[in-house]
């Protein structure tokens, strides 16, 4: 199409990622995010990020993620 692709949202596999905890699960003095490991992108590439939550030992899908990966 003649346009250069935007690589700004690509992340490195297995970097630290912090996902937002839903408001109904938050408590006043508790953390509002959970530390996870970035595994990839959603199944259809339109649903955010695929994460591993080591504390709960389960996979998570989220669009609200901050990563500490180099860009």
Alpha-carbon dihedral of residues 44, 53, 56, 45, nearest 10 degrees? -10
Instruction: Calculate the CA 22 to chain-centre distance.
Output: 14
* Cα–Cα separations (whole angstroms), residue 53 to 3, 29, 62, 71: 36, 21, 12, 22
Share of residues in the chain with pLDDT > 70 (%): 92
Maximum CA extent, the chain: 50
Least confident of 16-20, 27-31, 54-58, 62-66: 27-31
Classify 52 as helix, strand or coil. Answer: strand
pLDDT in tens, 40-52: 887 776 678 899 9
**pTM for this structure?**
0.74
């Amino acid at each position: 199409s003649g346009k250069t692709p935007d690589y700004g949202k690509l992340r490195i596999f297995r970097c630290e990622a912090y996902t937002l905890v839903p408001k109904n699960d938050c408590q006043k003095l508790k953390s509002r995010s959970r530390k996870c490991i970035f595994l990839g992108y959603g199944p259809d590439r339109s649903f955010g990020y695929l994460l591993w939550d080591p504390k709960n030992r389960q996979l998570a899908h989220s669009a609200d993620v901050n990563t500490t990966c180099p860009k």
